[in-house]
Amino acid sequence: MPATTFEDNRVHDIVVVGNGSLGLSLGLTLARRGIRVAVLGQPHRPWAASSAAGAMIGTFGEVTTTLLKSDYGRTKLDWAYQASKLWPEWLAQLAPDSDGTDLLTADGTVVMLNAVGLPEIDTHNYKAIRSTLIEYGEKFEDIDAEAIEWLDAEPTGRPLQAMFLPNEHAVNAHELLTRLEKAFVAAGGTLVPEQATRVEHNGGSVTGVALESGTLLVTEQLVLAAGSASQTVLDTVPEQAARIPRLISGYGVSALVDTQDGTGPSSVIRTPNRAFACGLHVVPRGNGQVYVGATNIISPEPRETPLISDVLFLLNCADRQVRRDLGESGLRTLQVGNRPVALDGMPLLGETELGGLWMMTGTYRDGLTLSPLLAREMTALLLGEEPTIDLGMFRPVRAPIQPVSREEVVETTVTHMLATGYESNWNVPVEWPFTIEHYLRTAYTRIANEFDPTFTPPPELLASSRIHPSIAKALRDYYAASHAAAQG
């Protein structure tokens, strides 16, 4: 390892670890306030979520019945709604010669309920989206499911109902990140094209951050906003890491496709969330190109390359459920993203118990959507100002958040596992799913009971803990540390 160097010209008021949408948005907001701020990250953003995202910036398309069951979910929904109102001005301020609308790739969103999923998930989530739109007084229109523009699903995957959400748009994620970088530098910020390796601290407070080159950036305020990769840096402060729900990856595959006939939809076409994922979605990218996304597989570590099985699953779903000639199209690029998932499934926002060490991650699927709002609120906290929303329920050092009961977690896990089978177009005797459901419920109940008498992991982590012993161990360690802290 190269020797650590200390450079007087590398002293910053605040250093942000992570150059994705959250890290750059925070850096930009701080720089515009005259703060000496550096944003760290390799230019090609390994393990990031933003660069592989479909970048849908709506609020309601991913509403689920589970989200609406708890104050935590309702809070996240309300934040997304507030963030959606900030996006027009946010985009307009990124470049002096643009109003930002050129970054938009989709004119609204079509949500379709098709024949592929399970009623307990798809139908219920579709109804939840509709009822929440009504609750918020947001515009939408029920449309003819057989007349959705560009859609040509196979008969067994045809849509049964559909609605159009005119205010749910998408942006070009790559161009967004480019403009955020340019705006950040123009505002006086410093981009450092390196990864952070270690938190430097003394006497209970941050003193700096070491980089992979051995350089040390001197700062008293350090924000970990590098998604799931934040965990590696946090682990260098083990006494803090033990008390904070560990970050793992919601690894996903997406594809950029050059359509066979050069056409594409004008709007996002998507299903409700299902099978532990954010629903099947196709996002227009212009010039005969579409974005197809996305899988969501819980992984102990971030991934850089896609699994062939996930690629086949994704493209088969799009071919069957969206457009039958998609298989004749050109596969331009496969993209891999790593959504930051905390062990309790909730965001990590605010200061840790080490003075000056902050976290702004764990946002799972919501980071890009929330970025203007969270950048504003975290800036207020960092500068000692009063925020306009309370981030306190998601403070990093905490006992596991348990939004629903253990029984509800198990039922959700079982249902989503079955939904994965149906979306994979499994071919089993009609009576077998009842038997499979019975044994899945028995198995997941046993696993949940063995973890802890009080705490239960979120459904996708409960399912993945059976496959990944390291995730099971991380959950047990976190639960034990939380009990120890409560007792003493």
φ/ψ (deg, to 5) at 231: -65, -40
**Confidence check: pLDDT of 155 > 60:** yes
pLDDT digits (tens, 9 = 90+) for 205-226: 999 999 999 999 999 999 999 9
pLDDT at 209: 97
Residue 9 pLDDT greater than 70, yes or no: no
Compute the average pLDDT of residues 16-40: 97
Please say if the pLDDT value at position 257 is more than 70.
yes
Percent of the chain clearing pLDDT 70 (strictly above): 98
pLDDT at 2 > cutoff 70: no
What global pTM score does this model have?
0.95
What's the Rg (C-alpha) of the chain? Answer: 22
Q: For residue 5, what pLDDT is reported?
A: 37
For 455, phi then psi, to 5°, come to -95, 145
pLDDT at 46 over 90: no
CATH number of 5-51+174-246+345-394: 3.50.50.60
Q: What is the pLDDT of residues 420-466, one digit of tens each?
A: 999 998 999 999 999 999 999 999 999 999 999 999 999 999 999 99
Lowest mean pLDDT across 8-22, 266-280, 393-407: 8-22
pLDDT digits (tens, 9 = 90+) for 64-122: 999 999 999 999 999 999 999 999 999 999 999 899 999 999 999 999 999 998 999 99
Mean predicted lDDT score pLDDT of the chain: 94
Report whether pLDDT(50) > 80: no
pLDDT digits (tens, 9 = 90+) for 165-180: 999 999 999 999 999 9
The pLDDT of residue 6 is 37
Which has the closest alpha carbon to 255: 319, 171, 175? 319
- Kindly indicate the confidence band of residue 10, based on its pLDDT and cuts at 50, 70 and 90: low
CATH class of 104-169+249-342: alpha beta
Question: Are the CB atoms for 91 and 101 separated by under 8 Å?
Answer: yes
Is the model more confident about 50 or about 251? 251
Give 427's contacts (C-beta < 8 A, 6+ positions apart).
none
In this predicted structure, what is the pLDDT of residue 51? 73
DSSP state of 50: G
Cα-flanking dihedrals φ and ψ of residue 373, to 5°?
A: -70, -50
Q: Hey, what amino acid is at 100?
A: G
**C-beta separation of 337 from 52 below 8 A:** yes
Which tokens hold the place of 251?
């690894």
Contact of 84 with 58, CB cutoff 8 Å: yes
Spatial separation of the C-alpha atoms in residues 309 and 295, rounded to whole Å? 11
Quote the pLDDT of residue 42.
Answer: 94
Per cent of the chain over pLDDT 90 is 91
pLDDT tens digit string along 365-417?
999 999 999 999 999 999 999 999 999 999 999 999 999 999 999 999 999 99
Q: How confident is the model at residue 53 (pLDDT cuts 50, 70, 90)?
A: confident
How far apart are the C-alpha atoms of 105 and 286, rounded to whole Å? 7
